[in-house]
Copies of this chain bind each other. A is one copy, B any other.
Amino acid sequence: MIAEIISIGDELITGQTLNSNASWLAGNLDKTGVATRQITIVSDDKEEIERALSEAERRADLILITGGLGPTKDDNTRDVLCTFFNSRLIESQVVSDDIKAFFAKRGLEVTETNRKQSLVPENCSILRNKNGTAPGLWFERKNKIFIAMPGVPFELKPMVKDHVIPFLKEKITGNFIIHRTILTHGIGESFLADKLNNWEKEFPSNIKLAYLPSPGLVKLQLSGTGENQQQIKEDVGTLINKLKKIIPGYIFGENHDTMQSIVGKLLKEKHATLSIAESCTGGMISHLVTSVSGASQYFAGSIIAYDNNIKINQLNVDKSLIEKYGAVSKQVAESMAAEIKKSFNTSYAIATTGIAGPEGGTDEKPVGLVWIAVAANDHLISKKFLFGDNRERNMIIASTAALNMLRKVLSGKQRRR
């Protein structure tokens, strides 16, 4: 079964909004063993939607459509589908009742605009919407399936998980896709490729390798296809075991791991706690750490010491250290880590101080210079980094590097001094 995704929206085609729905959908199809052949974005225009539907119908068996089902005048998908499938709009009692219940729960009356959403094409099935008012519309024609769903992610996702995926799981037999992704940190894409040249030569024709670089990380994705699921799993596993022997120092996780989820897991295993003193990263490390559900088990809290007075008065960094070495220095980073560990009474602490940019750099201390320190009960380490001149990128790379330093300490891979 070959799938395509059509995303509809002027906000997508004009670059106002990122198409995260298609990415999420493709990821879920992939996990289910359904390959996506193409993802297409077109505007809310009726002719463009109709053209995209016709073209996709020629190429794919399953066409998933998102967006354009809302209650406002710029939403055309339902009407185009109605024409495309030679149907007419009728009122659905189920949808009408769902809309009433949706608003009643929130103490609101059903507006005229929302009442119109209970009109659906006569020849489609309905996917009920738990989190909104627009139902999903499911059409079948000549063994091809078209499913139109709302573009709001919190409405789309339960619909896919509750209806689309279970249906596909039942339908799919025979061909399997297995993905495994290895996450690396601290080495660039081309240097990694040079190290892995011989390893890549061992790949059988049914397993592919992709290098996926992002700020601070390179992901190595292995994708195997075939009819014998167990055999593909084993073959991919064998390659990964060899990889782990080639670049052990750069690998930090697999698949949907993140640096913060790995650090969280290690802290939980040790029944340890963490505090953070952030300057140049401005709260991003804390945000990453607390984005992991259950972080309250190990994360005590942070001080974001953006202003030097906060470093002195709240973090108890010695004023003379800042005067002597500057706020962006080994001495201040180490003092920040040691002081927050003490005052927050945690087993570990991270600290960052640097120049995120685009302003504030000097010849001696350019934009992108960051000092990161990690404090533990029996040691205190620090490291100097020189990133680029992009503020957003510096913040994310510095945050990832800081968490990686802590990860190495937690997993005993960091030499003590």
User: Which residues of A does B touch, CB under 8 Å?
Assistant: 9-20, 22-30, 36-44, 48, 52, 55, 70-74, 111-114, 133, 152, 154, 179, 181, 189-191, 193-194, 197, 200, 208-214, 219, 221, 223, 276, 278, 281-287, 289-291, 293-296, 299-307, 309-310, 313-314, 343-345, 356-360, 388, 390-393, 395
Contacts and interface: CB of A to CB of B under 8 A. Distances in A.
A320 B40 CA distance: 58
Contact of A39 (B12, B209, B307, B345): B12
Contacts of A391: 291, 293
The 8 closest A-B CB pairs, nearest first, are: A282-B290, A15-B27, A283-B286, A15-B26, A302-B304, A39-B41, A301-B310, A283-B287
Contacts of A152: 213
Nearest to A399: B287
Given A15-B30, A44-B210, A113 B23 contact: no
Interface of A is mostly: mixed
A283 B304 contact: yes
A190 B14 contact: no
Contact of A306 (B214, B278, B290, B309): B290
Given A37-B48, A294-B359, A190 B114 contact: yes
Nearest to A256: B16
A29 B14 CA distance: 8
A403 to B, nearest CB: 13
A301 B301 contact: no
Nearest to A75: B211
Contact of A15 (B25, B209, B289): B25
Given A283-B302, A358-B293, A24 B15 contact: yes
A154 B393 contact: yes
A151 B55 CA distance: 26
Given A19-B22, A290-B356, 11 more contacts: A10-B210, A11-B219, A15-B23, A15-B29, A70-B189, A112-B194, A113-B190, A152-B213, A154-B388, A282-B286, A282-B289
A74 B208 contact: yes
B390 A16 contact: no
Contacts of A286: 278, 282-283, 286-287, 304
